[in-house]
Structure 1
Amino acid sequence: MRRELQALRAVAVTLVVVYHLEPRLLPGGYVGVDVFFVVSGFLITLHISRGLAADAPFSLLGFYARRVRRLLPASLTVLLVVGVVTLVALPQTLWNTIGRELVSAAFYVENWTLAATSVDYLAAGSHASPVQHFWSLSVEEQFYALWPLLLLAASVLGAKRGRARGAVIGAVAAITVISLAYSVHQTQQSPSWAYFVTPTRAWEFGLGGLVALTVPVLRAPAWARSALSWTGLTAIAGSAALLSGETPFPGFIALVPVLGALAVIMSGDVPGRHSPSRIGNLRPVQFIGDISYSVYLWHWPLIVLVPVLVGGPSYELPIPLRVAVVAAAIPIAWLSKEYVEDPFRGGGPRRGAARAAVPRGTRPVLVGAVAGMLVVGGLGGVAFGVSQARIDSAQAELTRFTAADLPCVGAASLEAGCAGRTPDGVVPDPMIATRDATEQNCQQAAARAEVIRCEYGSDAPSSTRVALVGDSHANQWMPALTRIAQERGWRLVTYVKSGCAYAVGLGSANCQAFNREVAERLRSETPDVVITSARSGLGYGSHADTAAAVRGFAAAWEPLIAAGTQVYALADTPEPEKAGLSDPPSCVASGDTCTISEARALPDDALVMAAERTGAAVVDLRDSFCFDGRCPSVIGGVLVYRDSNHITSVYARSLSTVLGRHLAG
């Protein structure tokens, strides 16, 4: 193995692990995955091209069997452990997602599952799956399945014209260009989809493959190759430090870490005092590179599962313990490599029974792989099936409950005359809490700028015209507002977007574009009432300080107020995550009290400060959430929160009476 490739793997896995441990340290550390893709594309293409050029025919089954021996034993071991831990020790609120993703990961389609279910900002606060990181392994396996077929077909067709190698290079170049163009397009149109799917990532493997087919190592002076290698490492490190979760990715920007990785590969192992190889060849670096695959496999399940096993679904490990958990991934990864990976690969120091028990023929290896995938998939299927049955039952119960519109439930239980009339149990069942989100089709995604307009209530010309604007914390009031609109004959329209407070100069570029268009529509529609809210204490999408946020809100509202529109600013709801409770539904399911501190859950709200400055009306319903400085997760038999920061639709609907009283003034 070329030592610079092992060093590059060490860099890649370190970036990913640090990013997963604490994203604020390396907000773009996810580019480590792109480095892995380039290295894989280089090595696999080099291996296949040598096989195609050899005298003996290239064996597809032999290639697949080697890939299986290299990758599946360790990955299936991790998935098996996660599956057993899920069924034995995790709350059922987590089974559905983990079960579904275990099946997807076992059959290496996790990237497509995440692409299909990804809802960017709406997923905030939901408990991360311990196998979520298998999306990148799924992309690699799909590449391994299709790449040799492409190269073999190109070689056969090219051989008929005496240009087998040229045909292979041409095919790889064509796939690379097409994939890059598609990646750029999809990153603009649907970033969540673009991040996960294989066609938007194929060009990264393809560029690695082109280098393998053309200039696997530059023939240049050592000083020039050393400078190129340092440049490549700087590009990778700079990407990890300067990119973030808000960066549209992969798209064109992914070229920076990808080309950086290619520069290191083409430079090779460069001798000299000032060469990066002097560091890359150190034994600790080579050791991390050697176990990088196992480190990648084990570190994320440890990060996700250990806090749940130690303190429950809402427990967050202190930073020193989180570092200790990640550090523990290194010896676990070494053991996994020594006792799982190496025996199946046919190398390493392990001898005796472990090596003797490993199948050697191509067919036994492939059959064993399928059997292992079926076992893991079965575990995931059990977790998914059991949880889905409970979900279906809970959903039916919720439908009956909502239709009945019972008095004295949720916030209504706080009204006079409701003492002792609170129903038993908790609605919605914590199993379906994250699904109890209303009107998501009318909420624009965080990465899109196009305005979505939805309309409710009366269409009479004389009806009061009301507009709801803001982010998901504005949209969470829709169950109450639609009920009020129905009762009062309002015409209610909505302009809401994930992670995008209605303000001037705040948020991402597409948020600001969205808000400019909304401002134009409000100017032309001249609503009688505008209702707005926003998630507090987050910099409102742009890391703005409180003063800047107040100015941004005021600048957005002042034209409305000047035109005679009544603006209502809904103070933000208590946020469990800020008070240390990251998963209220799972907490409630475990039987804990799940009460949070009002002071911690309700930070300073720039929205309220802006209302006081502009004369907008403030609607603060904290008395419907908190009592004596504490905010419970269940009120009047209703689960208050569906995730770490949004309220359930059932509880929002129960607030319609008290909200209506505030909006009447």
Structure 2
Amino acid sequence: MSTGIESPTAQTTSSTEAAEAVPTSRATRFRPDVEGLRAIAIGSVLLFHAGIVAVPGGFVGVDVFFVISGFLITGQLVREVEGTGKVSLVRFYARRARRLLPAAALVLVVTAGLVLSLGSIVDRKVFAGDIVAAAAYVENWRLAGRSVDYLAEGVSVSPVQHFWSLSVEEQFYIVWPILLLVVALLARRFHWPTRWVMAAGLAAIVVPSFVWSVVMSAASPANAFFVTTTRLWELGVGGLVAVGITLWPHIPRAVGLVLGWGGIAAIVAGALLLDESAIWPGHLALVPVLGTAAVIIAGTTDSSPGFLGHRLMVWLGGLSYSLYLWHWPLLIAATWVWGELGQKRGLLIVVLAVIPAWLSYKLVENPMRRIAQARWSPGVTLSVGLNLTALTVIAGLLLANSTPTSAPANASTQGKGAQELELQDGRATGVPDPVTVESFAPLPQDVVADRPDAYDTGCQVDQQTNEPHPCAYGDRTGSTHVMLLGDSKALQWIDALDPIAKDQGWVLDVATKSSCGFSPALQAKASGAPYKSCLAYNAALLDLVLEERPDAVIVSQGAGTALDSSGDLTRDEMVGGLVSVWRTLEDAGIDVVVIADNPRPHELPSGGHEAYKCVAQHLDQLPSCAFDTGTGLEQSGTFALEPAADLVPDVDLIDMNDLVCDDVCPPVIGEVLVYRQGSHLSRTYVRSTVPILSSRLVPVLHDAAAS
């Protein structure tokens, strides 16, 4: 997880449906203590998102909300089953629609407007897709896919990212009422105790979901954070509390006091003591989940902490859904205006979010709910809900279509790129000084897609795959066999290497893996965790290369460090691994050719490392999007590739960086946008280097084939 407002595990939360007053017993009537719990949950999340360092674990609020939601909704369904012997699915979904959709639709439409007016043009299509996914309550799966998608690494934090938790809840409530309906039918058919059968049904969800949460959180925490399967157990725990509601009033008051205050202590401890290093959700999530369950149980014994029922806590809890909806897009919009907010500005924004939250609560949520409840049939309510969803989808589609899909009239479609550079003795005499240009291609909003087709054919395997998947390029009838190995920084050269191989009659096989340089050193993922899959992959790849016995291998990579025995990232560790594998290949008669990694963009005006985003925001000030070459090289794979090549005399190092940088690296060369994403060169620019790369590579490989 990360600090602030983004994360592989970006932490957000949701408030859920308010308890409906059922004036029968403490177990079923309106629960001010539950509203107080909501206030604690939304407060912790707001402080966390505001960047308040004293609340590094404020993300536990999402887990509190999940338990509360499971408790309230299951309680409603259980009472319906016991009262009528069935579950009206139409009425249930109508209640959800009138509670959630009006305010959600308003916020999503407003957010689309904020993206259009304040956001970067390069993010519009992605955020438009997010808005549509949020409207359909599948945003969590979209974010889960993006969290492990290497090609999505440059995507900004979504202003509707917080809808992931609502998506989890609504997916749970698609299945849970149907399961309860089946339970009701079985209980009536076989005269089984209804609540016991419900408890068994919930247990069948809770236990495997918790086990999967622990397993997946350890294996792929970024993905595990968002997916529904790792979160169902939290809602299920709340459901179990609701199913057992008739038992809890018999608990002694003294025990209830311990449960209530102990539960509060667990939630607060989680918010104050946990931080971004926690693997979430895993077994640690038991702390806020069981703490919340304990507080709810204590409330049935009239022994919950008294402050939970305070008027201010109940008011804040009732407003939590609206606050949840509004605070996040406002925070993101503020970062578009001011950049990094800091604690004071972050806190100011979440406090100001109370204003639109209160207005939408008073003018949209409550009026729409009352009208629907008093005048509309469930069918009409669902129809209105579908129309609101359709309105939101239309807003997303309009936002997507607001992004230009073609170049303006003065944009160049035939930029020369590297071929515009002057050469002396085969080397560029220096790239042009960064100047403002009136035309270039690809456009910033299109350049992310300006990447090799090899990604679409599976030539680069993902971070979970342990086995290489070679792809065939070049001249398949050729007599010289070459293999391209490494990560995406090696793969970026395929659009230059393929035409060269075809022209020279080389068989070219490509085997690359996301973020995995071809080295036996233990590399690290972006999160800092050991990249063990990379080790297994490289071992299998080395066996394959030694079996294939190509004439030469071409390697490159973006990583300049690896983990040593102490767990520290060092250049020496990576250099040692590269030297080891290169010597193994050279000893086997396989020539090694290294393409130096290009400098990594850094310290751009946009505050990030995406050159194309800087260009989109500074079209009239392109020189500000240039960056220092030396620092860029220190952050690149060349940091290790160059010294490793010096230690293995037979290795040939080809340096193409004179085509990319001089003292600084400009964003545009020869009317071509140089960088597409992270430190990757655009496909268009790589293609412009073909003649120069050929002049440097062909003599080397001819020598290799002849030896």
Q: Same fold (TM over 0.5)?
A: yes
Match of 1:489 in 2: 505
Match of 1:242 in 2: 277
- Choose the corresponding residue for 1:525, options 542, 545, 548: 548
Which whole-Å CA distance do the structure 1 matches of 2:148 and 2:86 have between them? Answer: 47
1:544 corresponds to 2:558: no
CA contact (8 A) 2:41 2:65 kept: no
Q: How far does residue 506 in structure 1 lie from its aligned partner after superposition?
A: 2.0
Which whole-Å CA distance do the structure 2 matches of 1:276 and 1:556 have between them? Answer: 64
CA shift in 2, pair 1:455/1:82, >3 Å: same
> Which stretch shifts more, 157-166 or 634-643?
157-166
Instruction: Report the 3-state secondary structure (helix = DSSP H, G, I; strand = E; otherwise coil) of the residue aligned with 1:576.
Output: coil
Which whole-Å CA distance do the structure 2 matches of 1:540 and 1:22 have between them? Answer: 31
CA contact (8 A) 2:35 2:308 kept: no
Which whole-Å CA distance do the structure 1 matches of 2:52 and 2:532 have between them? Answer: 25
1:471 corresponds to 2:487: yes
CA contact (8 A) 1:69 1:344 kept: no
1:642 corresponds to 2:676: yes
CA shift in 2, pair 1:552/1:651, >3 Å: same
Instruction: Report the 3-state secondary structure (helix = DSSP H, G, I; strand = E; otherwise coil) of the residue aligned with 1:431.
Output: coil
Within a 5 Å distance, the mapping from 1:27-426 to structure 2 comes to 33-54=62-83, 60-114=89-143, 120-163=149-192, 164-177=194-207, 196-199=226-229, 201-214=231-244, 219=251, 221=255, 225=259, 240-243=275-278, 254-258=282-286, 260-266=288-294, 268=296, 291-310=319-338, 317-318=339-340, 321-342=341-362, 346=366, 360-363=374-377, 366-387=382-403, 390-391=404-405, 393=406, 409-415=416-422, 425-426=439-440
Match of 1:617 in 2: 652
TM-score scaled to structure 1, two decimals? 0.80
CA contact (8 A) 1:473 1:533 kept: yes
Which whole-Å CA distance do the structure 1 matches of 2:561 and 2:45 have between them? Answer: 25
Q: How far does residue 7 in structure 1 lie from its aligned partner after superposition?
A: 4.2
CA contact (8 A) 1:533 1:572 kept: yes
Which whole-Å CA distance do the structure 2 matches of 1:22 and 1:643 have between them? Answer: 31
CA contact (8 A) 1:303 1:325 kept: no
Match of 1:313 in 2: none
1:509 corresponds to 2:536: no
CA contact (8 A) 2:45 2:61 kept: yes
Q: How far does residue 442 in structure 1 lie from its aligned partner after superposition?
A: 0.9
Q: How far does residue 622 in structure 1 lie from its aligned partner after superposition?
A: 2.0
- Choose the corresponding residue for 1:442, options 446, 459, 467: 459
CA shift in 2, pair 1:344/1:109, >3 Å: same
CA shift in 2, pair 1:548/1:369, >3 Å: same
CA shift in 2, pair 1:294/1:355, >3 Å: closer
Q: Which amino acid aligns with 1:612?
A: D
Q: Which amino acid aligns with 2:459?
A: C
Match of 2:667 in 1: 633
Which whole-Å CA distance do the structure 2 matches of 1:373 and 1:241 have between them? Answer: 34
Q: How far does residue 648 in structure 1 lie from its aligned partner after superposition?
A: 1.0
CA shift in 2, pair 1:424/1:514, >3 Å: same
Instruction: Report the 3-state secondary structure (helix = DSSP H, G, I; strand = E; otherwise coil) of the residue aligned with 1:618.
Output: strand
Which whole-Å CA distance do the structure 2 matches of 1:284 and 1:479 have between them? Answer: 63
- Choose the corresponding residue for 1:588, options 601, 615, 625: 615
CA contact (8 A) 2:67 2:235 kept: yes
Which whole-Å CA distance do the structure 2 matches of 1:76 and 1:144 have between them? Answer: 19
CA shift in 2, pair 1:487/1:74, >3 Å: same
CA contact (8 A) 2:102 2:368 kept: no
Instruction: Report the 3-state secondary structure (helix = DSSP H, G, I; strand = E; otherwise coil) of the residue aligned with 1:132.
Output: coil
Instruction: Report the 3-state secondary structure (helix = DSSP H, G, I; strand = E; otherwise coil) of the residue aligned with 2:164.
Output: helix
- Choose the corresponding residue for 1:553, options 559, 562, 578: 578
CA contact (8 A) 2:32 2:308 kept: no
CA contact (8 A) 2:319 2:358 kept: no
Instruction: Report the 3-state secondary structure (helix = DSSP H, G, I; strand = E; otherwise coil) of the residue aligned with 1:242.
Output: coil
Alpha-carbon displacement from aligned partner over 1:128-152 (angstroms, at most 9, x marks no partner): 3322332222222232344223323
Which whole-Å CA distance do the structure 1 matches of 2:628 and 2:612 have between them? Answer: 17
Alpha-carbon displacement from aligned partner over 1:472-492 (angstroms, at most 9, x marks no partner): 122112111212222222222
Match of 2:16 in 1: none
> Which stretch shifts more, 593-602 or 617-626?
593-602
CA shift in 2, pair 1:581/1:116, >3 Å: closer
CA contact (8 A) 2:562 2:573 kept: no
Q: Which amino acid aligns with 2:348?
A: A
> Which stretch shifts more, 226-235 or 504-513?
226-235
CA shift in 2, pair 1:136/1:645, >3 Å: farther
Which whole-Å CA distance do the structure 2 matches of 1:151 and 1:383 have between them? Answer: 40
Match of 1:350 in 2: none
Which whole-Å CA distance do the structure 2 matches of 1:266 and 1:522 have between them? Answer: 58
CA shift in 2, pair 1:658/1:231, >3 Å: same
Aligned length: 627
TM-score scaled to structure 2, two decimals? 0.76
Which whole-Å CA distance do the structure 1 matches of 2:318 and 2:561 have between them? Answer: 40
Which whole-Å CA distance do the structure 1 matches of 2:441 and 2:72 have between them? Answer: 54
Q: How far does residue 652 in structure 1 lie from its aligned partner after superposition?
A: 1.3
Q: How far does residue 276 in structure 1 lie from its aligned partner after superposition?
A: 11
Which whole-Å CA distance do the structure 1 matches of 2:616 and 2:474 have between them? Answer: 36
CA contact (8 A) 1:229 1:263 kept: yes
CA shift in 2, pair 1:568/1:57, >3 Å: closer
Which whole-Å CA distance do the structure 1 matches of 2:689 and 2:601 have between them? Answer: 19
Which whole-Å CA distance do the structure 2 matches of 1:18 and 1:201 have between them? Answer: 20
Q: How far does residue 84 in structure 1 lie from its aligned partner after superposition?
A: 1.4
Q: Which amino acid aligns with 2:512?
A: V
CA contact (8 A) 1:158 1:166 kept: no
User: Any stretches of 5+ residues in structure 2 without a counterpart?
Assistant: 1-30, 525-530, 701-707
Which whole-Å CA distance do the structure 2 matches of 1:540 and 1:115 have between them? Answer: 27
Q: Which amino acid aligns with 1:162?
A: H
User: Any stretches of 5+ residues in structure 1 without a counterpart?
Assistant: 311-316, 347-352
Q: How far does residue 632 in structure 1 lie from its aligned partner after superposition?
A: 1.5
- Choose the corresponding residue for 1:456, options 451, 473, 479: 473
Which whole-Å CA distance do the structure 2 matches of 1:469 and 1:284 have between them? Answer: 61
Match of 1:314 in 2: none
CA contact (8 A) 2:478 2:507 kept: no
Which whole-Å CA distance do the structure 1 matches of 2:89 and 2:147 have between them? Answer: 34
> Which stretch shifts more, 508-517 or 322-331?
322-331
Instruction: Report the 3-state secondary structure (helix = DSSP H, G, I; strand = E; otherwise coil) of the residue aligned with 1:602.
Output: helix
Higher helix share: 1
Q: How far does residue 339 in structure 1 lie from its aligned partner after superposition?
A: 1.9
What RMSD over aligned residues (CA atoms) do the two structures have, in Å? 4.4
Q: How far does residue 207 in structure 1 lie from its aligned partner after superposition?
A: 3.3
Which whole-Å CA distance do the structure 2 matches of 1:13 and 1:445 have between them? Answer: 38
Match of 1:599 in 2: 630
Match of 1:572 in 2: 597
